[in-house]
Structure formats: C-alpha cells, structure tokens
Amino acid sequence: MPVVPDFSVSPTQSLLAGPDVDLRQIDPSSTPGFEGGKEAGKARLAAGKEVLSELQEKLFAESRFGSDISVLLILQAMDTAGKGGIVRHVVGAVDPQGVQHHAFKAPTEEEKRHDFLWRVRRELPGPGMIGVFDRSHYEDVLIHRVRKLTEPEVIEERYGAIREFEAGLAGAGTRVVKVMLHLSKEEQKNRLTERLERKDKHWKYNPGDLAERALWDEYQQAYQIAIERTSTPDAPWFVVPADRKWYARIAVQQLLTDALAAMQLSWPKADFDVEAEKERLAAS
C-alpha cells in the first residue's frame, strides 16, 4: 500500500481566519500545509472519504439515541470558485441520508417579508445531520453591501445579528464551519472561458456573471469586513485558497473531518440485552 500524503499542518489551524485576517495576503493559488501536488491531493481526497464517512455515520447513529448535535458547513464564494465541486466531491462522499443540502437563491417575495435570518432558520440541520449551505445569510452582508441593496446602518446591525444567531447555534449543539473559497480574478476568467468553450457547460454561464466580476474589488472588501466582524471561536471562518480545485477539496474535507472528530463521537451502546436478542432471533 502506498503511503497516502497527509497535511503537515491541518487546515483547521492554517486556514483559520480571525478578526485580523487580511485577504490580500492570502495567495489563492497556494496550498497551505500540504506539500504534495495534484496527484497526491487526489490520493488524499480518496483516502479521506472513508474517515469522513465513518464519522458522519457515528454522528447520525448518536442522534438515534438521543443526541441532538449536528454540523453546519457554510460555503461562500465568487462565481466559479468551486462550491459545486465541494458539494459533489467532499459532501458527496458521505451517506445522502445524513446530509441536508440547501442552495440559497435570490430571496422570494415571501422570504423578503421576513427578517433575513428567517429562511436560514428553516433550513438548519436536524439532529445527527450535516447541513450544507451553498450561499447563506452572508449574502445579506455581501451582495447587499456591494450592490447597496440595504442601508449601511442596517448592514452594520446584521453582523451583530449573525454573531448572535451563530452563537445560539453553537449553544444548541450545532458545530458551524464557515468557508470562503478564495479565488483569483485571473482564475475566474479561465473558468468562465471554459464554460463558454464547452457546450455542456453553457447552461452554467450567465451573462450577468460579468457584471458581478466587474465589482471584484468591492466583493473582496465586503468579504474582508464580513470575516473580520463574524469570525468567532464558536463559528470560525476559514479562507480556503481555491485556484487549485484539488486543494480546496481536500482542505474542506479535512475541516469537516476535524470538526466531527472534535465532537468525540462513538458508536451508541446497545440499550437492549444483546445475548437475549440473539436467542430470540435464533428462535424466530
């Protein structure tokens, strides 16, 4: 058996982005804590699937015996940064029964009539589940800030509301892992070009994407501020360099694995007499 390359430093340490984060200092093409290249990364991803999968099953199993803990992975990024690939290749490795995935789109009329956290509360993971948000309540301080969809004072209040909301989640047993996939503007151009060159990718392209791209610097600033204001020990942000898809995938896989491992999960003990059940079964 070949040795599977591992992180020298876990992304849980190396990619943690606290209030003192400076996005401009983080190279989107870097691979912090991982010395190998693409092939080593693929081997790492494959090897990590079983570890993650077993942890997820334990989380699920415990919930059947009364535990109400859960995990919530929040994915935020510019277009083409690879949220979909994370869902497919990292989240896709665990049992679909244990995953609650939700992609947040532009809010509906009904959603607009409520507080911005209303629709998010409705999609929180149940006990034993891994929730995955493809976009989230952070859109309400990102695109809303860049596009001036909301008054600045209201946006200021939202950072506090988010901190309080997420602290409540943590208090109720939900481990929150927030990921910004950090892409370079150049790599986005490459990926958009690919979408235009391949007929099976045209459906993923939207002419409106270029309008967002034109506001690149404003979005970077909005992310910078959002992370500064909302990264807490209870609900930390991780900035994941995303120009190399393989790196972003193994990094998020490891973040999830570490989050689950920290929950100290174990197989629930039988609440029945195993030997007696064996006899009943044999006689059936």
Q: Which residues bind its own copies (CB under 8 A)?
A: 61, 64-65, 84, 87-88, 91-92, 95-97, 99, 101, 103, 132, 134, 189, 192-193, 196, 199-200, 202-205, 207, 210, 213-214, 267-270, 272, 274, 277-278, 280-281, 284
Nearer of residues 106 and 270 to its own copies, judged by Cβ: 270
CA 17 to chain centre: 14
What angle (nearest 5°) sits at the alpha carbon of residue 17, between those of residues 12 and 22? 145
Nearer of residues 118 and 205 to its own copies, judged by Cβ: 205
Report, in Å, the least distance between residue 233 CB and its own copies. Answer: 29
Nearer of residues 148 and 278 to its own copies, judged by Cβ: 278
End-to-end, the C-alpha distance of the chain in Å comes to 44
Nearer of residues 134 and 166 to its own copies, judged by Cβ: 134
Alpha helix ranges (H) inside the chain = 11-14, 38-63, 83-89, 109-112, 118-121, 143-146, 152-171, 185-197, 209-213, 216-230, 245-261, 274-282
Report, in Å, the least distance between residue 73 CB and its own copies. Answer: 12
Beta bridge partners of 215: none
Report, in Å, the least distance between residue 139 CB and its own copies. Answer: 17
Report, in Å, the least distance between residue 146 CB and its own copies. Answer: 16
Compute the half-sphere exposure of residue 90: CA atoms within 13 Å on the CB side of its CA: 27
Report, in Å, the least distance between residue 86 CB and its own copies. Answer: 10
Report, in Å, the least distance between residue 160 CB and its own copies. Answer: 32
Query: Two tokens at 91?
Result: 């989240």
Distance between CA atoms of 271 and 94, rounded to whole angstroms?
Answer: 26
Nearer of residues 43 and 103 to its own copies, judged by Cβ: 103
Distance between CA atoms of 240 and 11, rounded to whole angstroms?
Answer: 8
Nearer of residues 96 and 171 to its own copies, judged by Cβ: 96
Residues 175 and 130 sit within 8 Å (Cβ to Cβ): no
Which of 163, 102, 92 is closest to 131 using CA atoms? 102
